Structure 1
Amino acid sequence: MASDNDVIETPSVRPLEADERSRLEGAGVEPADLESVGIDPAGVAEKEYSYRQLLDGGLEESAAEALRRTFSLPWSYQTEGDLDDRSEAVSGLGDAERAWIAASADEDWQGFEHAGERSIPTTTETPDERPYPRPTPVTAVTGVGGSNADQLAEAGIRSAERLATIHAGEVASVLDLDVLHVRTWRHNARELLRE
């Protein structure tokens, strides 16, 4: 495998397959454009080049980026410092996300504590529980009694959240229920969850 400092100066060793040519052209790059800067188009298709090699070879950044995405090319064959450089270049993170990333650098990163200045609202009382509410029992849905809940549980429907997302016809068929009852329960579950 070539290092990123090696620029291959030979033209195409083998002719391009039709699908490779099509993918190159789909990325907006003509094989002749690659050959003009000493880059083997077939080598690009076979992932013999990294993104960094394409740039170092003289290819425009937009073309190199399009080829990297199209052919899933590596950023670089050099690993030392490359990941750090790319992680510093990532933009679009908010303050809370940066704080979470900073907190994830130590061994306690899997905890549910929040590393930022804002706190995460939870419905739990003890720190050992997950920071999201428990599912709403299916019996909280208007019209679903204990025996109906047992039937629904046979189909894996144990919460109002799950009942609100079912396909009423399939559930009615599997449980041998009236589809109108199941549709009503689903509607009532959706109304309950909207409150």
Structure 2
Amino acid sequence: MQTPFQLYDYFKISIIQDKIENVSRNLNTLLVDFALKQKELTKVDFKKICSTRTIPYNSNKVKFLLFEPATNLGSTVFFPNFRDGWYTAVYNYTKLRNKNAYQVGFTIDDTKKYPAYFFSYFYKDKGQIAERRVHAIKEDSKWVFFSGRTPLPIEDTSNYTRRSIKDRISNEIIIGYLKRAGYDLTDQNFYTSAKNAILFTN
């Protein structure tokens, strides 16, 4: 089984800290206007979401995959066919269901236009959903760095003082943060679902 790191030049993946049964049911309700159909899969197959190297910015057909990693029971991976990782769906889920979630973005081929690296964590703060975000994006010929809200204990803030902006956050740094949080994206078993994966389409 190929992972997104092997399949795509850039992708975003979210980890929602909720069981797959809850995420499936709640996303069906949240996204009711899309008239989604769902199909259970015995294996995680990212190619069913996007079969090309480049995930589109916008797609006429909605697709997303849910699975509960064998290494992280009780958490659900959300992988859509939107280049932005369907940010609003993840944000609204955490807001409406009072759940925490990570959303991270990886660039595999940095020769492509606008390479970017994202690390976000949605969490409840004083009754509201807040987002801890760190990103670096290349806009035209210039790298832009952003860090918002209080860093998490899993972060190494010394990274953010590096002279080169593109070195402040990278695939390796993001993977390291998630490992500290208990999610090892380098472990093949992370992409093996403890229960049937679920494919949603409209």
TM-score band by shorter chain is under 0.3
TM-score (norm 2): 0.25
Higher relative contact order (CA 8 A, sep 6+): 2
TM-score (norm 1): 0.25
Q: If each structure's strand is expressed as a fraction of its own residues, which one has the higher value?
A: 2
Larger Rg: 1
